[in-house]
A and B are shown apart, each in its own frame.
Chain A
């Protein structure tokens, strides 16, 4: 069973912080923790890529270093370009081992984003609608649909900003899109569903991201997201065109990317592996 699994010891200094980092999710590649930066009142997300003892040590260091730096580079570039992603706070690709001194993997500390992932927001909304949609009058129904449409449009716009900055995500699912809770006291939405769609759209988990401006790669991002929404959020799927609309308006290159998307960008075998990766993320990111 999964709970027997013991994650590897944390690299210094996280083996010695109080309170200790809290493990949020674990994948094949990395572990995500919640910890703090400098002061316990400043929360931060910590992604640890532990060393893989099966690999030759030189190869292991090379790969871990490459990948964590790649992720950090994409994030800093996006911050500079004004795309909303978590800011990079600290990084160590020569992390010291937890128990014994020596190589323990690499880690990346990022800004803590307070808010739900879009997967949860849509799931809650769809669950409520499934149960209670019949009790709403036409105007209310219209209003509810409009809220989700507006959310998808904002997501499309954010993805457009990402691509405009020359980065592709590589693993774009609703689990990797968050809504940052508004900090100021803005008036809460009055909605019968009780599910808020407010907040800034933030993209997370750039572990498979790369710098690319090719229509093919960009279209794969959109395709993966389209498939993800289609299979987990069936009620929101008809609103996909809103996302496309938001994307189209975001930057000039969008038109040719969308044309590539219509031409079915991914060969079937590739689509397969992308779908599997989505499943993987859903499993890993679902709280146990």
Chain B
């Protein structure tokens, strides 16, 4: 059986094709292609621009995916698409395309919860059976565990997502959004040495990031580290090796004023500690020793390292995936959609409108029985 997955809840449009062989052998990824809308440094992406981007690319990508997978339209069983949560306009653009393909080709339509897509893809790739899931991205921050056919949310952010906090700080520093802001923060943070004091906000199993963002933004402003000019200086420094070694000597001599790298370093250390802490609580609660990290922020190596140390001390292990599967993609929607399709789930045309708010625990996980 073959499913096409269409994802476009944020600034990436991804089309993926999954095959679940009838003989019961493991599912296979036939195609996984993606195109990202990148905004200039210092700016975020606006829903209308992203929607336009998705509309422009969707036909090309579907054609490309079919070609790469070497499947004909006749062989496809269902069209799966992200029904939410996400940004309204981009979601609508992709849902419209999915509806059209379903009607045009006469295929079943399957609406998929974006978070469940991440979880199912992570489980498939890593082979983790019943992990505590940390789902961290630009729009979501949740600690999830499975219990009687629901993915239950144990803890979550009370305001903005952790990825949003990182993205917005990248804007303050005018760090490039290519390939994505979090990656560039991570690279800059590697040069950071000094830990500055930031708020640390954990309430039970919930976290909050807006205060941290406000604190570090104002710190950057006070130290005069924000803005385009400083970003250019940084770039010049990086390109000039000789000067870099000189600067290091200078840094050593100068007073302990935090640098841009120090701020990135401190922000990462603080927010990732919070995430690992709430994950550990959830693990203690459900008695699980596996952690699965999914979502775009999950590709951060420092987060994976910290989670690894925590899990090791509890006698467990971490499952993480690389950019191909962590960051929003089409196959995760195809995978979760296929599981739902096989359990008899269908989305009728009149029920196929998408929603910006779609809680992970609203989905009836009919395909799991444990």
Binding site for B on A (CB under 8 A): 2, 4-6, 8, 27-29, 52-56, 58-59, 62-63, 208, 269-270, 272-274, 276-277, 279-280, 283-284
- From A52, A208, A274, A276, B285 is in contact (CB under 8 Å) with A276
Residues in B neighbouring A284, C-beta threshold 8 A: 284
Chain B, interface residues (CB within 8 Å), range: 20 to 34
In the complex, the answer to whether B284 meets A27 with C-beta atoms within 8 Å is yes
* Least distance between B210 CB and chain A CB atoms (Å): 16
In the complex, the answer to whether B309 meets A5 with C-beta atoms within 8 Å is no
Residues in A neighbouring B205, C-beta threshold 8 A: 273, 276-277
What CA separation (Å) do A54 and B313 show in the bound complex?
9
In the complex, the answer to whether B309 meets A59 with C-beta atoms within 8 Å is no
- Segment of B133-141, B152-160, B217-225, B341-349 in the binding face: B152-160
What CA separation (Å) do A27 and B314 show in the bound complex?
11
What CA separation (Å) do A56 and B302 show in the bound complex?
11
* Least distance between A87 CB and chain B CB atoms (Å): 27
In the complex, the answer to whether A53 meets B313 with C-beta atoms within 8 Å is yes
Q: Is the interface of A mostly helix, strand, loop or mixed?
A: helix
What CA separation (Å) do A41 and B155 show in the bound complex?
43
**B:282-321 near A, CB below 8 Å:** 283-285, 287, 305-307, 309-310, 313-315
A sample of 11 cross-chain residue pairs with beta-carbon separation below 8 angstroms, ordered by A number, consists of A52-B273, A54-B273, A59-B270, A62-B200, A208-B204, A269-B158, A273-B203, A273-B205, A273-B206, A276-B154, A276-B285
Query: Which 8 A-B pairs rank lowest in CB-CB distance, beginning with the nearest?
Result: A28-B284, A54-B309, A54-B306, A280-B285, A28-B281, A56-B269, A28-B280, A54-B310
- From A56, A269, A283, B273 is in contact (CB under 8 Å) with A56
Q: In the complex, what residue of chain B is closest to A63 when comparing beta carbons?
A: B200
Q: A5-B314, A5-B315, A53-B313 are in contact. Are A274 and B204 (CB under 8 A)?
A: yes
Residues in A neighbouring B100, C-beta threshold 8 A: none
Residues in A neighbouring B276, C-beta threshold 8 A: 54-55
Q: A276-B154, A276-B205 are in contact. Are A53 and B270 (CB under 8 A)?
A: no
Q: Mark B192-204, 1 if CB is under 8 A from A, else 0.
A: 0001010010011
* Least distance between B13 CB and chain A CB atoms (Å): 31
In the complex, the answer to whether A273 meets B154 with C-beta atoms within 8 Å is yes
* Least distance between A126 CB and chain B CB atoms (Å): 24
Residues in B neighbouring A28, C-beta threshold 8 A: 277, 280-281, 283-284
Q: In the complex, what residue of chain A is closest to B279 when comparing beta carbons?
A: A28
Q: In the complex, what residue of chain A is closest to B305 when comparing beta carbons?
A: A54
Residues in B neighbouring A279, C-beta threshold 8 A: 285
* Least distance between A239 CB and chain B CB atoms (Å): 28
In the complex, the answer to whether B195 meets A56 with C-beta atoms within 8 Å is yes
Q: In the complex, what residue of chain B is closest to A269 when comparing beta carbons?
A: B156
What CA separation (Å) do A2 and B289 show in the bound complex?
9
Residue among B158, B281, B285 with most chain A CB within 10 A: B285
What CA separation (Å) do A209 and B156 show in the bound complex?
21
In the complex, the answer to whether A52 meets B310 with C-beta atoms within 8 Å is yes
- From A4, A58, A63, B315 is in contact (CB under 8 Å) with A4
* Least distance between B202 CB and chain A CB atoms (Å): 9
* Least distance between A86 CB and chain B CB atoms (Å): 23
* Least distance between A215 CB and chain B CB atoms (Å): 18
* Least distance between B359 CB and chain A CB atoms (Å): 10
Residues in A neighbouring B287, C-beta threshold 8 A: 2, 283
* Least distance between A161 CB and chain B CB atoms (Å): 24
* Least distance between A277 CB and chain B CB atoms (Å): 5
Q: Mark B90-125, 1 if CB is under 8 A from A, else 0.
A: 000000000000000000000000000000000000
Q: 15 new A-B pairs (CB below 8 Å) besides A272-B153, A276-B204?
A: A28-B277, A54-B273, A54-B309, A54-B310, A54-B313, A55-B306, A59-B195, A269-B156, A273-B154, A273-B155, A273-B206, A280-B285, A283-B285, A283-B287, A284-B284
- From A4, A58, A59, A277, B204 is in contact (CB under 8 Å) with A277
Residues in B neighbouring A283, C-beta threshold 8 A: 285, 287
* Least distance between B154 CB and chain A CB atoms (Å): 5
Residue among B156, B269, B310, B313 with most chain A CB within 10 A: B313
